[in-house]
């Protein structure tokens, strides 16, 4: 194996974190800001790109860092190494309510394609790159742009998702239509395209967007019930306007503000 062979355990239900067990000299790479805690003796190092041997030259590291800019991520990643003789643990947390999904890349022929913000952490040696869309319609209307992330190698990687997750194994020629934001990721054998919803009423009044993602097998697809963009949209819609609370669920409305003393003159 070119990637480090790590052990792990996932804790929690709705706000999960993954604990990685590192043998001596083993390492793991993670997105900046995902670190939660670590045992004494683990060395933390900020690196360009993903630190894999795939682009080990100086130019390769610069290109790898540039690819991360295209996916909207930081130039840097953080690597954690166990420099002691015994086993040590380091943990990484999901940034919002949902699930952490372990991805064994050897089970998917060494490659998994996921949303730009889905990657959490991976064994040292796993390559975190970009996957360009070759179809114009998918790039313009897919909600994910022309670019998705690709995880390559023979080690373990971890992606996070919002809400509850679903896994579908599609047979050859079998199709699945999904809201574009609800896709977490899929195997490289999946044919991914964008399809217009169709129908004037559906387009104007449906409230579900103009396009689906059309996924055709064979392969495996992972989906999430609560994309972060949907969660953020609901939060923004519920924010008070002009600093005044909406008093959700109150039949008194503004009168309730007067009675509970919230209004200040």
Residue 1 within a domain:
no
Contact 101, 222 (CB under 8 A): yes
- Distances from the Cα of 7 to the Cαs of 1, 10, 90, 240, in angstroms? 15, 11, 11, 46
The reported pLDDT for the residue numbered 54 is 57
Residue 108 within a domain:
yes
The domain that contains 222 carries what CATH number? 3.60.160.10
Residue 242 within a domain:
no
Residue 82 within a domain:
yes
Number of domains making up the chain: 1
Which run of H or of E encompasses 162? strand 156-162
- Give the residue numbers spanning the domain of 161: 7-237
- Kindly give the confidence (pLDDT) of every residue in the chain, 265 residues in length, as a single tens digit, with 9 standing for 90 and above: 577 888 999 999 888 999 999 999 999 999 888 899 999 999 999 887 666 665 555 555 556 555 555 555 556 789 999 988 899 999 999 888 889 999 999 999 999 999 878 899 999 989 888 876 655 455 444 444 457 888 999 999 999 998 889 999 999 999 999 888 888 999 999 998 887 765 555 445 444 556 778 899 999 999 998 877 666 666 677 777 655 555 444 444 554 554 444 444 4
Question: Token pair for residue 98?
Answer: 């949902």
CB atoms within 10 A of CB 7: 13
Which run of H or of E encompasses 15? none
The reported pLDDT for the residue numbered 110 is 93
């Amino acid at each position: 194996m070119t990637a480090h062979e790590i052990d792990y355990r996932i804790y929690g239900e709705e706000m999960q974190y993954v604990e990685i067990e590192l043998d001596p000299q083993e390492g793991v790479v993670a997105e900046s800001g995902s670190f939660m805690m670590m045992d004494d003796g683990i060395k933390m190092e900020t690196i360009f790109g993903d630190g894999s041997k795939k682009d080990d030259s100086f130019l390769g590291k610069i290109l790898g860092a540039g690819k991360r800019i295209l996916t909207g991520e930081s130039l840097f990643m953080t690597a954690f190494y166990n420099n002691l003789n015994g086993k040590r643990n380091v943990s990484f947390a999901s940034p919002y309510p949902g699930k952490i999904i372990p991805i064994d890349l050897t089970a998917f022929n060494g490659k998994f394609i996921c949303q730009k913000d889905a990657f959490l952490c991976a064994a040292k040696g796993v390559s975190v790159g970009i996957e360009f869309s070759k179809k114009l319609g998918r790039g313009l209307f897919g909600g994910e742009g022309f670019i998705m992330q690709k995880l390559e190698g023979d080690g373990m990687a971890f992606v996070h998702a919002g809400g509850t997750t679903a896994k579908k194994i599609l047979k050859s020629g079998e199709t699945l239509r999904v809201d574009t934001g609800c896709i977490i990721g899929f195997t490289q054998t999946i044919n991914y395209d964008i399809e217009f919803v169709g129908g004037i009423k559906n387009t104007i009044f449906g409230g579900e967007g103009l396009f689906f993602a059309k996924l055709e097998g064979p392969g495996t697809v992972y989906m999430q019930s609560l994309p972060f963009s949907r969660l953020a949209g609901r939060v923004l819609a519920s924010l008070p306007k002009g600093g005044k609370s909406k008093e959700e669920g109150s039949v008194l409305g503004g009168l309730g503000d007067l009675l509970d003393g919230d209004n200040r003159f």
